Amino acid sequence: MQKIIRIGTRASELALWQANFVAKKLQEIEGLDIKPEIVQIESQGDLILDKSLHELGITGVFTKSLDVAMLKGEIDIAVHSMKDVPTILPNKIVQAAVLKRAGSLDVLICKDEHNEEFLYQKEAIVATGSLRRKAQWLHQYPNHTVVGLRGNVNTRMEKLKNSSWNGAIFAQAGLHRVKLLPKHHIKLNWMIPAPAQGVIMITALESDNEILKICKEINHTETEICSHIERQFLNTLEGGCTAPIGALAYIKDTDVNQPKIFFKGALFSLDGKKKIEIDKSCYMVDHKDLGKTCAEDILNRGGRRLIDEMHSEKKSIKLLSTKQLSVSQTDMFDTKIGVQMSDFISIKFNRLKPTVVKNTIENVVITSQNGVDALLQNFSPLELDFKNIYCVGRRTKRLIEKKIGKVAYVSNSARELANHLIEAGNIQSVTYFCGNLRRDELTTMLSEKSIEVEEIEVYRTVKNERKFKDEFDAVLFYSPSGIQSFIEDNQVNDVIAFCIGQTTAVEAKKHFSKIEVSSMPTIESVIKSVNKYYAE
């Protein structure tokens, strides 16, 4: 006996393709004679309050016209792009099946098909209507401009063609399904997709056991498990469409008897400057709460505060940090303090010749973590044969001992280190791995005592001028060069300068009338001084 199944769908080309694909899968079920009928449902907007449902005793506000049609008995099943479906379905409606994922990648379509040069330029314009894609693009390309792009895939492709944009971001699966994917497109493998991106979902009434049994025949179990994890992650973060959230789970048979599930998820700030990420795996038998535990981990590592910031009212105190801070550092600020961040200086590592470390070096001086990173950028730890290492700062010491070797002596300042080397009495020369803005006092003090200093510039500090339209109550500075960069394009006015140490404070006094200096030369100490100042 033939079974008619009414398939509800929206009228866009992509939605109709998906509905017809489901119809084909239903017809291929062995032992059943299915006659699918496509029913196009006109969209009535994002939120629907339907009076006729109230008359049937069904109350609530529904997110899709398809939900209303199903509850009113006009269709038997509805076909959706799963990433667009809320993680909590309306009462009486359930997930009946998901089809095998077609692909999860985002792709960049360039307006000029063969011109990708804008990816390497400081300024470019890229379009997307997704907060997630916008945040991740700005995280990768902070100087680019991202503009809004709405409509179905056909409309968006047409808008790109008629625009002055450099490119636009799409889901690869959607373009491929409607044959709009250009031969020359750029796969954004680094971009974490939306939860359940590329998955077709079928919903049905919870009470319709016959339809549910039929749909189970075309359900793809692996996709069901992976999309469940991704949507569980989204639901726990409570992101919905208001926070940039990416998630991807996949199954890999690393062990024949015990396949593993690998998961990657991330939460971003709206401007892309903050990112909290997690990578985790587990055996298939333990997957039930994987999405939930991963989301809870992100919430505990600053995600809760990040989401609150996106939903909270404007902060009463506005600060600017002249370098990017970690999530744990931004979490230290009092809740009434809002912080913008921008790197006013950047570090460029120099390319060094192999002869620099060809032989054993007797006495090495490193005064910053940048010096350590620059050396490791050029050489492996095994190539660095240093007999005695002297450094400035506890964090520099920890990095050296973790990556290179034992530190002979650590000081709190370059002057203190110079005095130690002089007082040792048996040091005739040192090799100083430094930056272009080196600590001249160290070289001067040693040279005056006839200790030869060989300076090797391993990195350069470059000023990044940034002009801000916003007015700030205070600015956080971590180096004299950061101050010099800030004043190039910004007015000082009555801004308070919070400085990481006395050297930075000396430069600040040339430009600012209000100055606060942290008790210790650490970022955390600067933040503590900010909280203390505004608590008074």
Phi, psi of 201 (to 5 degrees): -115, 140
- Average pLDDT along the chain, 536 residues, taken 10 residues at a time: 92 92 95 93 53 46 72 93 86 94 92 81 90 93 90 90 93 92 91 95 95 96 96 81 85 78 94 92 88 94 83 72 78 82 80 91 93 92 94 91 94 91 94 84 92 93 72 90 86 90 89 92 90 86
pTM over 0.75: no
* Beta carbons of 246 and 139 less than 8 angstroms apart: no
CA neighbor of 267 nearest in space, from 327, 322, 225: 327
Query: What does DSSP assign to residue 115?
Result: -
**Cα–Cα dist 106/167, whole Å:** 13
Count of CB atoms within 10 A of residue 99's CB?
20
pLDDT at 42: 76
CA neighbor of 262 nearest in space, from 286, 289, 280: 280
* Active-site residue, selected from the candidate residues 33, 46, 76, 84: 84
| Crossing angle for the helix pair 394-403 and 369-378, to the nearest 10 degrees | 20
Q: Name every residue whose Cβ is closer than 8 Å to that of residue 526 and which is 6 or more positions away in sequence.
A: 476, 478, 498, 499, 500, 518
* Beta carbons of 236 and 87 less than 8 angstroms apart: no
pLDDT at 515: 95
Is 470 a catalytic site residue?
Answer: no
**Cα–Cα dist 144/121, whole Å:** 9
- Per-residue tokens: 380: 């492996």
Count of CB atoms within 10 A of residue 339's CB?
20
Count of CB atoms within 10 A of residue 231's CB?
24
Cα 358 → chain centroid = 40
* Beta carbons of 98 and 82 less than 8 angstroms apart: yes
Alpha-helix runs per DSSP H in 149-200 = 153-161, 172-177
* Beta carbons of 232 and 265 less than 8 angstroms apart: no
Phi, psi of 285 (to 5 degrees): -70, -15
Count CA within 13 A, CB hemisphere, residue 180: 22
Relative to beta strand 77-81, strand 200-205 is: antiparallel
Cβ burial, residue 342 (10 Å; 0-12/13-18/19+): middle
**Cα–Cα dist 47/64, whole Å:** 7
Residue with tokens 């359900």: 219
Phi, psi of 22 (to 5 degrees): -65, -40
**Cα–Cα dist 185/370, whole Å:** 37
CA neighbor of 231 nearest in space, from 46, 81, 82: 82
Alpha-carbon dihedral of residues 201, 52, 208, 18, nearest 10 degrees? -20
pLDDT at 247: 96
pLDDT at 439: 63
Q: Name every residue whose Cβ is closer than 8 Å to that of residue 84 and which is 6 or more positions away in sequence.
A: none
CA neighbor of 240 nearest in space, from 272, 273, 271, 267: 267
Count CA within 13 A, CB hemisphere, residue 5: 29
Element holding 27 (H helix, E strand):
helix 13-27
Relative to beta strand 275-283, strand 167-171 is: unpaired
* Beta carbons of 103 and 176 less than 8 angstroms apart: yes
**Cα–Cα dist 491/493, whole Å:** 6
* Beta carbons of 500 and 525 less than 8 angstroms apart: yes
* Beta carbons of 186 and 107 less than 8 angstroms apart: yes
